Amino acid sequence: MNDSLTYALALIGSAFGIGLIVLLNMAMGWTRLRLNTEDEAQRFLKRDVMGFQVGSELVLTPDRCAYLCLEANGARIGLVLARGDNAVVRALRPGDVRSAQVSGTTLTLALFDYTLPRAVLELGRDGQATDWADRLQDFVRAPGGAAGNEAPYAKSA
């Protein structure tokens, strides 16, 4: 056999194998995580962030894929994102947010986190994205400078 036919057969075989694995997972009941209730999202926060006390300002996205809440003392914002069969959890402190942008009902967060550089949350109700973007302004770090609540000698890169 020539090399191009061998490569084509290997590619087709690999695609078939991956498809079979996906179908097997679906047949076994594997599904994507959804944050069905605020309590479920808060359990992820309590599991991953020590001492986080959920405050009264919170939102669960209509698609059940994201959750935001302000800590009771206002020091941090809890972010829970459903990814695959688990959740990605962050406790955002002042200076952790690069920007918070609003487009209609969508809130887009750019973070100083190389493992989660961007989070897009579809909040569903008019004004909700703007309200959260305003809350997040205290957590935004100015380019090349310290966050609003950081001491001047503790400036981050």
For tokens 């069905």, name the residue.
36
Q: How far apart, in Å, do the first and last CA atoms of the chain sit?
A: 57
Q: Residue 151 has what pLDDT? A: 43
Residue 77 lies in a domain: yes
Q: For the chain, what is the radius of gyration of the CA atoms?
A: 21
pLDDT at 141: 79
Spatial strand order of the sheet with 106-111 comes to 97-103, 106-111, 118-122
Asked, for residue 153, whether it belongs to a domain, the answer is: no
Question: With bands split at pLDDT 50, 70 and 90, how would you rate the model's confidence at 154?
Answer: very low
Judge whether residue 37 has pLDDT over 60: yes
Segments forming the whole domain that contains residue 59: 38-139
| Count of domains observed in the chain | 2
Q: State the Cα–Cα distance between residues 156 and 67, nearest whole angstrom.
A: 27
156 within domain boundaries: no
Give 26's pLDDT tier (boundaries 50, 70, 90): confident
Q: Are residues 128 and 107 in the same domain?
A: yes
